[in-house]
Chains A and B, each alone.
Chain A
Amino acid sequence: MIPAAFEYVAPTSVEEALAALAEHGDDAKIIAGGQSLLPVLRMRLNAPEWVIDLGRIDSLRGVRDGGDHLVIGAMTTHHDVGRDPLVHEHALLISKAITHLADAQVRHRGTFGGALAHADPAGDLGAPALALGSTFVVQGPGGTREIPGADFFVDLFETAISDDEILTEVRVPKHDGWGASYEKFVRIAHQWPIVAVAATVRLEGDTIAEARVGLTNMGSTPLRAHAVEEALAGRPATEDAVAGAAALVADGTNPPSDLNGDADYRRHIATVMTRRAVLAAAGRG
């Protein structure tokens, strides 16, 4: 299938893109890498009159050091983020999650900001971005606005980005020396995760000093497992202690029921994946 007909514009600056968005408003969709949007258009689940392509805006690409955080340009491809030495050093959890994201061809086209703005609760980047305490920077007619991670994901495929704004960068606080793991439960190759858990921990000796845990596909948005994080802090990095904390992971979640498994099944899988992810992040996997 092919998309319904649309008009196309490929601005070369954020300002031009915002002007196009202001002009075409409700009739426009933004395309980043297009790896989620193009299948949607081809299946005619959406038929915008205008498609605004951010692919020619060079300033939105790349990863840079922002001092105590990394700045990941929204149009940086998954491939480039996944291979970036700064990301590997300061935000290992993101590097780990990207190795599990879709497949090589999709990682070459798909973008970090596009995937997050798409806000698929089964997408692989929301949980690690939340777990690392990321801030989302958007630009609109009134200038630049920072959205804390906890406020960014609103509902299924819905974010706090306004209709006249564009996500330009994601600021990820540095987690130097933290171990990390992304455990993704799937039945077949390059499936969306039935459940996935992003975990990153800072060890002091054999003790988990701090932990951050994010959940994929355990509700209508990516989630942060605060109860597990609190239960892990100060505990030994042993199987028993981690399993005890992981048992709390499903509290407050509202996972979907579908052909891949019902909500109770997902709650169970989440406890198993959490235990595995935390132990692997602590180097005990």
Chain B
Amino acid sequence: MARINLTVDGSQVSDDVEPRMLLVQYLREQLGKTGTVIGCDTSNCGACTVHLDGTSVKSCNVLAVQADGAEVTTIEGLAAEDGTLHPVQEAFRECHGLQCGFCTPGMIMQTVDLLKDNPDPSEEAIRLGLEGNLCRCTGYHNIVRAVQHAAGTTEGASA
């Protein structure tokens, strides 16, 4: 077992973990943060995307021990303490940027990273920026609209 100390969604946590434990397992099974989901188990789908020290990563492809000392933000840490949604969460709701909703936590976390890097992305930049996130319902059009809505680059057509 290895001792890890990190900050998750603003809270300090400290645990003994097996070195082989994946970050996504740690978040879900040890901390109960099941908002971060496991979609594919092959590091393709991006549903498990979280922020590690401020940049997006696939948490199924990081060991918990590698996150020792880091700051992790999950989908559960995006909204304000009073429940006010993050603008990207609000945009996904407003534009109905989902169908079944399973990919949504990862889509939102990756969108936050994308807009931090490029606050005014073209449609192509949005599609490229979300390349690592798969929507098995293939509901990509409304997802792109939601990102545009969040960026303020369009009125954002409601579904």
Q: How far does the alpha carbon of A16 sit from the alpha carbon of B129 in the complex, in Å?
A: 38
Asked if B44 is at the interface of the complex by the 8 Å CB criterion, the answer is yes
Name the distance in Å between A73's Cβ and chain B's nearest Cβ. Answer: 18
Across-interface contacts of A25 in B (CB, < 8 A): none
Asked if A102 is at the interface of the complex by the 8 Å CB criterion, the answer is yes
Asked if A187 is at the interface of the complex by the 8 Å CB criterion, the answer is no
Across-interface contacts of A105 in B (CB, < 8 A): 46, 49, 56-58, 61, 110, 132
B42 adjacent to A6 (CB under 8 Å) = no
Name the distance in Å between B45's Cβ and chain A's nearest Cβ. Answer: 10
Q: Per-residue 0/1 for B110-139: is the Cβ within 8 Å of any A Cβ (1 yes, 0 no)?
A: 100110000000000000010111000000
Across-interface contacts of A3 in B (CB, < 8 A): 20
Asked if B21 is at the interface of the complex by the 8 Å CB criterion, the answer is yes
B19 adjacent to A108 (CB under 8 Å) = no
Number of residue pairs spanning A and B whose beta carbons lie under 8 angstroms apart: 83
A2 adjacent to B25 (CB under 8 Å) = yes
A109 adjacent to B20 (CB under 8 Å) = no
A190 adjacent to B132 (CB under 8 Å) = yes
Across-interface contacts of A109 in B (CB, < 8 A): 52, 57-58, 61-62
Name the distance in Å between B18's Cβ and chain A's nearest Cβ. Answer: 7
B132 adjacent to A103 (CB under 8 Å) = yes
Task: Please tell me the number of chain A residues within 8 Å of chain B, measured between CB atoms.
Answer: 30
Which of B19, B20, B42, B129 is close to A104, meaning CB atoms less than 8 Å apart?
B129
Across-interface contacts of A41 in B (CB, < 8 A): 20
Across-interface contacts of B49 in A (CB, < 8 A): 105
Which of A34, A42, A189 is close to B41, meaning CB atoms less than 8 Å apart?
A42
B41 adjacent to A104 (CB under 8 Å) = no
Name the distance in Å between B136's Cβ and chain A's nearest Cβ. Answer: 13
A190 adjacent to B44 (CB under 8 Å) = yes
Name the distance in Å between B148's Cβ and chain A's nearest Cβ. Answer: 18
Across-interface contacts of B41 in A (CB, < 8 A): 1, 42
Which A residues between 1 and 18 are near B, CB-CB below 8 angstroms?
A: 1-8, 10
A38 adjacent to B61 (CB under 8 Å) = yes
Name the distance in Å between A12's Cβ and chain B's nearest Cβ. Answer: 12
Q: How far does the alpha carbon of A11 sit from the alpha carbon of B51 in the complex, in Å?
A: 24
Name the distance in Å between A10's Cβ and chain B's nearest Cβ. Answer: 7
A6 adjacent to B20 (CB under 8 Å) = yes
A108 adjacent to B56 (CB under 8 Å) = yes
Asked if B79 is at the interface of the complex by the 8 Å CB criterion, the answer is no
Across-interface contacts of A106 in B (CB, < 8 A): 43, 58, 61, 132
27 contacts between A and B (CB under 8 A): A1-B41, A2-B21, A6-B20, A8-B2, A8-B65, A10-B68, A34-B63, A35-B43, A38-B61, A41-B20, A43-B42, A51-B19, A55-B66, A103-B46, A103-B131, A103-B132, A104-B132, A105-B46, A105-B56, A105-B61, A105-B110, A108-B52, A108-B56, A108-B57, A109-B57, A190-B44, A190-B131
* 14 more CB-based (< 8 A) A-B contacts, given A38-B63, A41-B20, A42-B60: A2-B21, A2-B25, A6-B19, A8-B19, A34-B63, A38-B22, A53-B63, A103-B133, A104-B132, A105-B57, A106-B61, A106-B132, A109-B52, A109-B62
3 smallest CB-CB distances across A and B, nearest first, come from: A103-B132, A8-B19, A3-B20
Binding site for B on A (CB under 8 A): 1-8, 10, 31, 34-35, 38-39, 41-43, 51, 53, 55, 79, 102-106, 108-109, 189-190
Binding site for A on B (CB under 8 A): 2, 18-22, 25, 41-44, 46, 49, 52, 55-58, 60-63, 65-66, 68, 110, 113-114, 129, 131-133
